[in-house]
């Protein structure tokens, strides 16, 4: 079924936001093929100030590894702004993912600030073409499922930057 292309910037921004939400839902369901379907085959990502980049094949490998290593506790994102220029959307996003590392009793809290670029297709759907990682903050803490509540406060989270994780 052909989608109708929204005819104003606000409607385009909302349809782009809906696309990002649909991709997020696939991630939460661990639907790898659905997740990757939201990205262009020529997708690229890089981090400002770091010697790191990723294409769609590397994204697939990373997601396969993450799905094998972690249970997803939650993933939230907010869009600070979305700008539409022609058939491109530029979204300034902040997101936080909480993952339970299998077998070691740790929770990973991964916070990112990104610029994502989406392309509007003729049928009104979107594909994510690029992601520019602006900042990364990762914390490791005892898993809320593996440790008593007082152990979490007794062991403050460690912080590290990992430019190679989404």
CA distance 111 to 94: 7
For domain 9-160, the CATH architecture is Roll (3.10)
Give the pLDDT confidence score for residue 136 in this predicted structure: 95
Which pLDDT score is estimated for 5? Answer: 57
Give the residue from 74, 66, 87, 92 showing the smallest Cα distance to 24. Answer: 74
pLDDT of residue 4: 58
At residue 143, the pLDDT reads 77
Q: What is the pLDDT of residues 61-113, one digit of tens each?
A: 999 999 999 998 999 989 999 999 999 999 999 999 999 988 888 899 999 99
Cα distance between residue 35 and residue 58, in whole Å: 14
pLDDT interval class at 6 (50, 70, 90):
low
Torsions phi, psi of 60, nearest 5? Answer: -60, -50
Query: Looking at residue 141, what is its pLDDT?
Result: 83
Task: Pull the structure tokens for residue 49.
Answer: 């100030």
Residue 118 has pLDDT above 60, yes or no: yes
What confidence score (pLDDT) does residue 3 get? 57
Distance CA 27, CA 100 (A): 15
Per-residue pLDDT tens for 17-72?
A: 999 999 999 999 999 999 999 999 999 999 999 999 999 999 999 999 999 999 98
132-151 average pLDDT score: 75
Q: Which residues contact 152 (CB under 8 A, 6 or more apart)?
A: 141, 142, 144
Q: How far apart are CA 122 and CA 162, in angstroms?
A: 37
The pLDDT value given to residue 105: 81
Question: Measured between alpha carbons, how far is 33 from 129 in angstroms, rounded to an integer?
Answer: 16
DSSP SS3 for 158: strand
């Amino acid at each position: 079924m052909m989608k109708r292309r929204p005819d104003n910037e606000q409607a385009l921004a909302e349809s782009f936001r809906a696309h990002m939400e649909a991709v997020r839902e696939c991630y939460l369901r661990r639907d790898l093929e659905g997740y990757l379907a939201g990205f262009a085959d020529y997708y690229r990502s890089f981090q400002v100030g770091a010697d790191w980049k990723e294409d769609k094949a590397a994204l697939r490998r990373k997601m396969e590894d993450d799905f094998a290593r972690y249970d997803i506790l939650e993933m939230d994102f907010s869009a600070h702004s979305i700008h539409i220029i022609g058939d491109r959307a530029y979204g300034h996003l902040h997101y936080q993912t909480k993952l339970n590392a299998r077998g070691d009793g740790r929770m990973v809290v991964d916070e990112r600030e990104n610029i994502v670029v989406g392309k509007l297709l003729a049928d009104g759907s979107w594909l994510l073409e690029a992601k520019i990682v602006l900042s990364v903050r990762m914390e490791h803490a005892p898993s809320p499922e593996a440790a008593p509540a007082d152990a979490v406060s007794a062991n403050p989270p460690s912080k590290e930057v990992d430019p190679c994780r989404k």
